[in-house]
Amino acid sequence: MDPLFLLLALFLPRLALFYFWVHDGLPPLPMPSWGELVLAVAVPRFIVLFMVYQTMGLSFWFWLHLVAALTVYLGSAYKAAKD
């Protein structure tokens, strides 16, 4: 997997998915293409996490993306509950 994708997906996952989708740089996933599209729009961090797991296993990048996803989703849930 391209290190540029891994780094860009940490901060801008939708942009990273779109850019590498246009340039055919995404690894094939074992799901229908409409499933990839729905996941990329709805929860892009989870599809990135799934891609990292499928291609690299439980590597450093997987744990880094998992921490980023949990931080973003739990942080936004905390902010929504606070308001």
What is the pLDDT, as a whole number, of residue 66?
94
**Residue 60 CB partners (closer than 8 Å, separation 6+):** none
Q: How many angstroms separate the CA atoms of 80 and 51, rounded?
A: 29
pTM strictly above 0.85: no
What is the pLDDT, as a whole number, of residue 68?
92
What is the pLDDT, as a whole number, of residue 83?
64
Counted domains in the chain: 1
pLDDT, one tens digit per residue, over 12-66 is: 998 998 888 888 877 777 777 777 777 778 888 888 898 899 889 999 999 999 9
Find the domain containing 31 and state its range.
3-82
